[in-house]
Structure 1
């Protein structure tokens, strides 16, 4: 309990120092809760920064400073007000998919622009630590619980890779470009307003066909972010047909991100799971023809292994290790 009180006192000191550094005049409160998964800013007149309790217990003072600076940048930019305006407009134009999509992309660009504003206050090479802070928050709590009208530091996981790339290159997104994108969205949305009812969405949920996989491509589309030590890519393997029953054992120890494992043949998908810890899949001789394994990594740190047991001996198909992220 004493250690927790010392941590909270330290966090309040960090908040006050950041307020002075960023020349903010408003009184800002800190609150800790289990009901959110990401730090966020709430309130226009009396702003409050909400911090997930799990994050507060597992981050350093330095990372907490970056979190506070991120939310204070949202405050300086009046992003809470913009959020509420977009919520109202989304409610009014609920039937226009183009406008709704445009506002979604605008929020994503807003986070990148906010990242850029934070980097202006940091010293050289601190952008790397700031990027690790975003990764750490996602690692601590990978749920997606948020409060309406708030500015969540991490809301769309699919955009994390883009943000990390921008931070590592220290690119800046200006407020002018965001305003321009809003105008473009408004123009496009107004043109497509009367055609919203004719919009159709494609169903892309079907499994990947065999023809799209190169069976000889070990570590295909391999991408490694040297700055943050995360791997994204696709590994493909083919198991030679032996006309007998056998088992495929898959183990993974994923510390961050996900690895999606899929086993399939010419007829069907035999197994599909994200980051399986220890799975054994039985392959009958009827299904043993042209069996392929695809492992897709998304901002991944950790390892996985694939072994085949044909009841006579165990053969290693792949052992894949990814560099651990810094904490």
Structure 2
């Protein structure tokens, strides 16, 4: 299987399964968790982010790899080099199809670089510029509030506070060495407490790391519109969950004061970078955030948390597996369509001339017979590498009159020459066709009840290069 195609298939599986889980989470929380705290919904979103990046890709890789059972044989001889037989369909990659795959991969890569790499680079440049104009805060009153909050929230990291003259809203940056950047304006003691507590909670929860993960996911899956909504919701719930922690157990007056502070910050221009900012200018989001602050939410019960988390964790691999099955079905339909388009069509056999020859081959058990591979009813995908004049032969299969064996094979190069045929083990007669431009697509009709074996013989000569031949052999009873 082509590595680029394999990678594209994994990305599609992760994208589909992750999108379904996001939609499921939204429906579940809107129905079952409506009126409760947002922090649990934000927790599920964080789990989904981690699933997107690591388990989903690893799980997809393992399942897809295991679904293609490959039996490989390495032999040191003048004729036979190696053979692989797989149990699932894969695309018979002609040069044209490989070109399309390369184009799709290139488009994806360009999109990923533009949506992820450039975005992260741009934000790093902006943050670096901001830090160049920032000075560490030496005000005792601010540092005292910071120290009290670090103790209150049980934060073990050292968090430094900076002042900056070019920003208008507080925000936090850094993962290992978190920093809080304050605008030049003066805050009263209560507002300063709210601002620093909000940003310190972001630092404690490592929200900036998850936001970077989200940017990477959005960049890798830039073609998926569902993830655009996921990214927006993730950032919004990050702020709302932080608000909940800031005003936990506070009365209505304190909530009103906190909401007014957020609206005050909203009036200032905000830097357009991916940081844990104190406010967001989107009207719909701000309305929801202020409403959430003023109304307050019920605390979620532990039983609901445990059951819903268990359900979510259970669904992750199940949804991934279902996505793989459905994408594999689409791939198989595509394989059949391409095969019918390029090879198995009425009259295509007419391009090949069938030859016969009588060769006596050994039909009893022999040491070489262990190198043969069984072909059962149905389709078998084949990946064979043989010497320029070598031969690969499959294990015999008993067929009745009226059955057929269809071979659809292609070598890496149109200049390669090989024969593909069947041998009647009863009388030793071989029937074969010669490749045309490195490909064979031919159906052998069975006219006599006997045991038959499919073989492929290289015609590049003793000094010719090895042939790598892939394709499908279909046995119809």
What range describes the TM-score normalised by the shorter chain of this pair? 0.3 to 0.5
Larger proportion of strand: 1
Rg larger for: 2
Asked which structure has the greater RCO (Cα within 8 Å, sep 6+), the reply is: 2
> What's the TM-score, normalizing by structure 1?
0.48
> What's the TM-score, normalizing by structure 2?
0.34
